[in-house]
Amino acid sequence: QVQLQESGPGLVKPSQTLSLTCTVSGGSISSGSYYWSWIRQPAGKGLEWIGRIYTSGSTNYNPSLKSRVTISVDTSKNQFSLKLSSVTAADTAVYYCARVVAAAGRVSFDYWGQGTLVTVSS
Amino acid sequence: DIQMTQSPSSLSASVGDRVTITCRASQGISNSLAWYQQKPGKAPKLLLYAASRLESGVPSRFSGSGSGTDYTLTISSLQPEDFATYYCQQYYSTLWTFGQGTKVEIK
């Protein structure tokens, strides 16, 4: 059973960089046709896709965040990471990591982490 | 960006009711649509993909249909554990987008 677990600071100061790591267990991050993705959800609001990475290292980002986002993968640690720079209070949200199965006709988030709340405040 | 608009934003229903949620894309997405269920404080759970394909382990009372720009999620007989918020998500374009969610509440 694949499991994902987010980790990182729960409090980040404005203008600083938010850094989160997702550790994947129960399977290799390098195997299969999968993307690895980050999604966030402000309190009481909907889901916003942040970006994704393939194990080759290729990335795609939400244009609304693209200038501030970097997603990377460390296959030796079975982890992938999110960095979001120049954060403001608007970046306060629960951040989820997720696996994306990418097969013929199917691209969907099939495994999710439990989510981690990141608050941007001084 | 492809905008996804769900309706209604919320609904009240009783156990046993048939419930339908609609998701409209701003352009055709060729059945490249998934549905998720989210309960408070929990991560979303995948219900369907490719508009109508049921994810393994999901009860058969959930079904999906549609084509082009308009898609529906139907719960044939609402169960107590189905009270939650439902999201559609398109993966037709490189930029994946979610609908704003539909909250299903107890009547």
Q: Is B43 on the interface with A (CB under 8 A)?
A: yes
Q: What percent of chain A has pLDDT over 70?
A: 100
Using the beta-carbon criterion (under 8 Å), do A107 and B91 form an inter-chain contact? yes
For position A106, what pLDDT does the model report? 84
Q: Is A105 a residue whose pLDDT tops 80?
A: no
Strand pairing of A48-54 and A34-41? antiparallel
Token pair in block for residue A6 = 């987010």
Taking the C-alpha atoms of residue A121 and residue A12, their distance in angstroms, rounded to an integer, is: 6
Q: What is the tens place of the pLDDT at every residue in A69-83?
A: 999 999 999 999 999
For position B35, what pLDDT does the model report? 98
A30-34, A62-66, A97-101 — which is least confidently predicted?
A30-34
**Which DSSP letter does residue A10 get?**
S
Using the beta-carbon criterion (under 8 Å), do B49 and A48 form an inter-chain contact? no
Using the beta-carbon criterion (under 8 Å), do B91 and A105 form an inter-chain contact? no
Q: Are A109 and A2 in contact (CB under 8 A)?
A: no
Q: How far is A49 from chain B (nearest CA, A)?
A: 6
Q: Is A11 a residue whose pLDDT tops 90?
A: yes
* B91 contacts in chain A (CB < 8 Å): 107-108
Token pair in block for residue A65 = 């965040």
For position A111, what pLDDT does the model report? 96
Q: Is B52 on the interface with A (CB under 8 A)?
A: no
For position A10, what pLDDT does the model report? 96
For position A28, what pLDDT does the model report? 92
Mean pLDDT of all residues belonging to chain A: 95
pLDDT in tens, chain B (107 residues): 999 999 999 999 999 999 999 999 999 999 999 999 999 999 999 999 999 999 999 999 999 999 999 999 999 999 999 999 999 999 999 999 999 999 999 88
For position A103, what pLDDT does the model report? 81
Taking the C-alpha atoms of residue B77 and residue B14, their distance in angstroms, rounded to an integer, is: 9
pLDDT band per the 50, 70, 90 thresholds, residue A56: confident
CA B43 to chain centre: 15
Please identify which residue in the block is written with the tokens 């299969």: A32
Token pair in block for residue B77 = 């007989």
Burial (CB count within 10 angstroms: exposed 0-12, middle 13-18, buried 19+), residue A67: exposed
Using the beta-carbon criterion (under 8 Å), do B91 and A47 form an inter-chain contact? no
Q: What percent of chain A has pLDDT over 90?
A: 89
Taking the C-alpha atoms of residue A74 and residue A29, their distance in angstroms, rounded to an integer, is: 9
Q: What is the tens place of the pLDDT at every residue in A26-55?
A: 999 988 789 999 999 999 999 999 999 998
For position B57, what pLDDT does the model report? 96
